[in-house]
């Protein structure tokens, strides 16, 4: 008896086929050395800097250009994927206002110190050209840094403000702060915030600043106010504006009544310096760095200018 195999040609139902995406897929972009691959930057530095200065700093710029494209770029990417979080209370109900940042953000702090991103112009090894040297490194650093360039800009501003202040020689706390801000040691390096904006006005600090500075018998001040937009709130210190309260309780209005103060964000015991972090700002952009609303209720401060 013979059997015959019959083949059935059943049409395939394409509803159950894999999605058709074509055969072409572009490769992911690869970031190259941000110094050796930037002909414009090299040309600019060659035109601006003395040849002996460029020759001496070029190996460091080339090395840093490679770092920006590799480990620094990875740190910055982590900051974008893991934005900061605020822990108001610990497990025992104690208010801690702990701002939690990712490992990449913390590593960028150390990188900034090691690479001299703040210290270079204050060391003045190359005189007036030291600022150009710093600017070149920051130019490469910023796009890959996960916005760590923001606290660095405020840190640089704080270092310069303290350096030119007439009170720095008289106040050891300002001298100590300056040494931290310009340190190359990651364990010693500080970043700084700038707390100016309040509820009544953004850039109009002359009419919008309501924070009071109450003089103390030892020459310090206690600050009372609400800072509405405080960038890089995890910084070690800050410069902030307030109005000195007269003995009768009055203050001077407008720009003439403003004074700049220095304060450390935490006391020697590690607790916040009479500061409450009300909330982190839910921003449309720049979410990598913590920006917060802060209540100052007696924060210890020193006059800078």
* Look-up of token digits 């008896």: 1
pTM: 0.90
CA angle 61, 58, 122 (to 5 degrees): 70
DSSP run (H or E) holding 177: helix 172-181
For the chain, the 3-state helix, strand and coil shares in percent, each to the nearest 5, are 35, 20, 40
Handedness of CA 202, 204, 206, 210 (dihedral sign): negative
User: 289 vs 134, 187, 252, CA distance in Å?
Assistant: 22, 20, 34
Q: Is beta strand 221-231 parallel, antiparallel or unpaired with respect to 275-280?
A: unpaired
* pLDDT string in tens for the chain (305-residue length): 566 665 556 566 665 666 666 677 888 888 999 999 999 999 999 999 999 999 999 999 999 999 999 999 999 999 999 999 999 999 999 999 999 999 999 999 999 999 999 999 999 999 999 999 999 999 999 999 999 999 999 999 999 999 999 999 999 999 999 999 999 999 999 999 999 999 887 778 888 999 999 999 999 999 999 999 998 899 999 999 999 999 999 999 999 999 999 999 999 999 999 999 999 999 888 999 999 999 999 999 999 98
CA angle 241, 245, 248 (to 5 degrees): 165
């Amino acid at each position: 008896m013979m059997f015959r195999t019959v083949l059935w040609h059943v049409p395939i139902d394409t509803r159950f086929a894999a999605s058709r995406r074509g055969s072409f897929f572009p490769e992911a972009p690869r970031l190259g050395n941000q110094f050796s691959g930037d002909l414009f930057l090299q040309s600019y530095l060659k035109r601006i800097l003395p040849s002996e200065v460029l020759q001496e700093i070029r190996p460091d710029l080339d090395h840093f250009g490679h770092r920006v494209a590799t480990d620094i770029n990875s740190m910055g990417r982590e900051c974008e994927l893991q934005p900061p979080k605020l822990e108001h209370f610990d497990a025992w109900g104690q208010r801690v206002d702990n701002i939690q940042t990712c490992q990449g953000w913390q590593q960028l702090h150390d990188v900034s110190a090691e690479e001299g991103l703040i210290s270079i112009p204050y060391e003045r090894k190359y005189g007036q050209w030291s600022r150009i040297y710093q600017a070149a490194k920051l130019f490469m650093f910023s796009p890959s840094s996960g916005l760590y360039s923001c606290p660095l800009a405020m840190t640089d501003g704080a270092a310069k403000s303290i350096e030119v202040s007439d009170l720095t020689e008289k106040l050891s706390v300002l001298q100590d702060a300056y040494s931290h801000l310009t340190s190359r040691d990651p364990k010693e390096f500080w970043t700084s915030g700038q707390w100016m904006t309040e509820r009544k006005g953004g850039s109009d600090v002359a009419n919008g600043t309501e924070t009071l500075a109450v003089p103390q018998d030892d020459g310090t001040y206690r600050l009372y106010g609400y800072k509405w937009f405080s960038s890089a709130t995890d910084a070690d210190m800050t410069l902030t504006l307030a109005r000195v309260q007269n003995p009768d309780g009055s203050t001077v209005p407008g720009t003439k009544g403003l004074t700049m103060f220095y304060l450390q964000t935490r006391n020697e015991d590690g607790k916040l310096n009479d500061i409450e972090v009300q909330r982190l700002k839910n921003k449309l952009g720049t979410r990598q760095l913590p920006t917060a609303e802060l209540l100052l209720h007696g924060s210890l401060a020193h006059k800078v200018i």
